[in-house]
Amino acid sequence: MKHILFILITFLLVNNAFAQQESDISKSVANKFQEKYNTNDYDGIYSMFANEMKNFMPHEKTLAFLRGLKSEAGNIKTKSFVKYEQANVALYKTNFERIVVALYISVDENSNINGLMVKPFEEEQLPKLTRNISKLRLPFNEEWTVLWGGDTKELNYHTIDKAQKNAFDFIINDQQGNSYKNDGKSNEDFYAFGKQLIAPTDGEIMLVVDGIKDNKPGIPNPLYVPGNTVIIKTKNNEYLFLAHFKQNSIVVKQGQQIKQGDLLGLCGNSGNSTEPHLHFHIQNVEDMNKATGAKSYFENILVSGELKKDYSPVKTEKVKNK
């Protein structure tokens, strides 16, 4: 991508206070840009420009720019909103046929494009996220126990992993502290197996994996570590990662809009898991190989019967939604 360091128009910025949720206007303009670009409707893109943009990029210069972009990068396959750099300057991670780029589109108050830039996408452009913004419920009913959770390696072995550093593993224990009845040789012996798992908040289902067999207790499957999985994207661009569902139990579909408390599926023992449990964490992007984990705080939960607000539980605590 030697030649695709194209244009940066002087964006019309008001201030540095801006939301990290994609606005309806930005979304509409970006979608129209993609549609017109992929159909070679370069005149249509030019018609979307504000007057100052047309002055900076006259008609023939705009056509040359877009044709050059198409020649080097191909069509746009997918794009995803990352963040606002400033005011109305939206950054999209954009997958063209031959390269991944950072596409910046600035929109004025009349929904016209007044700034446009294309350059190679760099990982540091990924959004920062240290804790949840969305209000969360625990992703289950009844009282569960935090098997792993907290900020130190002693409390939470996940801390060594960048994406999972603030993850939880949840199980169900009886009054004797056991997570199973009988001899624990079958998944059905475990109290968590088959329990309903619910959406912690509103969002869109970004990924569903549902065909992986449940393990025999004590024998993990390291080939696909998360096992049966659901990833939810919130309106605040948080990616909620829930793993180890029971095979063929997930009832939501990719692209579906869900509400807090909606049923997702049943707890299982799939993936790199030695017993039925739920793995839950939040990350800043969908791809766990590129993500950074964020800490989860739950709005109102009971911890060993005591009400806690905006609380992140730790290992051994028994937790339940209020």
Distance from C-alpha of 227 to C-alpha of 212, rounded to nearest angstrom: 6
Q: Is the pLDDT of residue 110 over 70?
A: yes
Percent of the chain at pLDDT exceeding 70: 93
Distance from C-alpha of 78 to C-alpha of 73, rounded to nearest angstrom: 13
Q: Is the pLDDT of residue 130 over 80?
A: yes
Q: So what's the pLDDT on residue 18? A: 40
Cβ atoms of residues 224 and 209 within 8 Å: yes
Task: Give per-residue pLDDT as tens, 160-175.
Answer: 899 999 999 999 999 9
Mean pLDDT of 40-69: 93
How does residue 17 score in pLDDT terms, banded at 50, 70 and 90? Answer: very low
Q: So what's the pLDDT on residue 2? A: 37
Distance from C-alpha of 316 to C-alpha of 149, rounded to nearest angstrom: 8
